[in-house]
Amino acid sequence: MTAAVPILAVEGVTVRYGSRTAVDGLSFSIERGEIFGLLGPNGAGKTSTLSVIEGLLGPASGSVLVDGADALNAPLEAKARLGVQLQASSFQDELTIEQLARLYAGLYGLRLRRGDIRDRLHAVGLGDELTKPFKRLSGGQQQRFSLLIAVIHRPLLLLLDEPTAGLDPQSRRLLWDRIEGLRADGGSILLTTHSMEEAQAVCDRVAIIDHGSLLALGSPAGIVAEHKDDPRVLRYAHGEVTLEDVFIGLTGSAIRD
C-alpha cells in the first residue's frame, strides 16, 4: 500500500539574509489531520520558515511540498491549498464584516449568500455583528474574524502565526475549540506559539527550533519524556519537568528581542 503523502513536507530548507543564516537545513513534515506546533524563541527562524511555506520568500536551498504541490516551482497551485492567519491582520476598517467576508470569498471565486455568511460568522461567535465595521470589533472578535477569512475557502492546510497572542482566557479557549473543529472537518494546522500551555493543549506534535535548526520533534509528552533527565532541562525545572522546562533548557534563558 502506498504511504499517504503528508499535507506538508519541508526538506532541507535554508534561508539566508546576507551573511546571516536564519534557517539552517530545516526538515519536518505534517500529516493529514494533524495539528502541528512550531516553537522557538524570538529570532529562531519561525517567521522565515512560514514565509517560505507561504511562497513569500525563496530559500537558498531546500524544498516545500504542500499536498504534493511544489511551493517553489508551482506557487499558485500550492497557495490554493493554504489558508493563512497572521499575528496582525489588516482589513479595510470602514467595511462591515459582511462586506469583508463577501470580498475575500470573491477572491477565491466563492459566491456566498447572506445566510451562508451569517452561518459562518455565527460559528465564530460573530453572528450578531453582520453589519458592524471591522474597526468596531474588539481584539478578540478581530482575531476570530481573521480566522474565518483564513479558512473561508476550506484550505487543506491552515497556517496560524501566534493565533491567541493578546487574547483573554475565554477568547483563547474559544479559538482552541475552533482549531479543533477545523481539524474535525478534515483540515490540518501549523501554528506558531510562545505558549507552552497552548502547544500541549492543542498540538499533536511540535518542533522546537532555534537559530534555524531543529532541536526536538515529537508529541509534547514524548519530548518531555525524552529530555526529562537532561541536565540543561533539570536546571530550570521546579518539580515535575514540563514542556516549558524543556523549551528553556534547549534554547537557553536569555531574553530575545
Domain ranges for the chain, please list them. Answer: 1-44+55-81+162-168+178-252, 88-154
Q: Please, which pLDDT band fits residue 228 given cuts at 50, 70 and 90?
A: very high
pLDDT band at 73 (very low <50, low <70, confident <90, very high): very high
For domain 1-44+55-81+162-168+178-252, give the CATH superfamily.
P-loop containing nucleotide triphosphate hydrolases (3.40.50.300)
CB 174 within 8 A of CB 125: yes
Percentage of the residues of the chain whose pLDDT score is greater than 70:
98
Which set of grid coordinates corresponds to residue 82?
Answer: 493554504
If you count them, how many residues does the chain have? 257
Q: How confident is the model at residue 141 (pLDDT cuts 50, 70, 90)?
A: confident
Confidence grade of residue 87 (pLDDT, cut at 50, 70, 90): low
> Which of 140, 161, 153 has its CA nearest to residue 104?
153
pLDDT of residue 210: 96
Asked which of 45-59, 161-175, 221-235 is least confident by mean pLDDT, the reply is 161-175
Report pLDDT for 178: 85
Task: Write down the pLDDT at residue 114.
Answer: 84
C-alpha cell at 124: 465564530
- The predicted-structure confidence for 14-65, as pLDDT tens digits, reads as follows 999 999 999 999 999 999 999 999 999 999 999 999 999 999 999 999 999 9
Checking if the pLDDT of 93 tops 90, the result is no
At residue 3 the predicted structure's pLDDT band, cuts being 50, 70 and 90, is: low
Whether 22 contacts 15, CB under 8 Å:
yes
Side-chain-facing half-sphere of 224: CA atoms under 13 Å: 14
pLDDT on residue 111: 84
